[in-house]
Amino acid sequence: NAGVTQTPKFQVLKTGQSMTLQCAQDMNHNSMYWYRQDPGMGLRLIYYSASEGTTDKGEVPNGYNVSRLNKREFSLRLESAAPSQTSVYFCASSEALAGGGDTQYFGPGTRLTVL
């Protein structure tokens, strides 16, 4: 099992460019999450998907869109990148349906720099 995989590992964008971060899990988990991690800010939830076909906003959704393509895949799109979106992005998954309370497993992260 690969667990949670993310692509790309590193990315440099110019302001205004767009890109999609890809995430896939092979653990048959129902819930998937996108976080960003900034120095001194901890992990902050951008969007999550409790089950296939549903998505919900987290703490910091502005400037991002997501797609739960199927049960395995959950992508994060930056339509017009801004320097404030420079961060490390983590995808995570957990078995739980709505109700939460379950362990999250994290991918290796994508380090994004917006110039």
Partner 1 sequence: QKEVEQNSGPLSVPEGAIASLNCTYSDRGSQSFFWYRQYSGKSPELIMSIYSNGDKEDGRFTAQLNKASQYVSLLIRDSQPSDSATYLCAVNQNTGNQFYFGTGTSLTVIP
Residues that bind partner 1 (CB under 8 A): 31, 33, 35, 40-45, 48, 50, 56, 58-59, 90, 94, 96, 98-109
Q: Which residue number, 14 or 42, has a Cβ lying nearer to partner 1? A: 42
Q: Which residue number, 35 or 64, has a Cβ lying nearer to partner 1? A: 35
- Of the candidates 62, 90, 92, which has an alpha carbon nearest to the alpha carbon of residue 78? 62
Alpha carbon distances (Å) from 75 to 30, 39, 46, 101: 15, 24, 12, 23
Q: Which residue number, 24 or 109, has a Cβ lying nearer to partner 1? A: 109
- Residue 17, token pair as written in the block: 């460019």
The beta strands (E) that lie in 40-106 are given as 42-49, 56-57, 64-68, 74-78, 87-94, 105-106
CB of 53 to partner 1, least distance (A): 14
CA distance 63 to 55: 15
Q: Which residue number, 16 or 100, has a Cβ lying nearer to partner 1? A: 100
CB of 61 to partner 1, least distance (A): 12
CB of 64 to partner 1, least distance (A): 16
CB of 25 to partner 1, least distance (A): 13
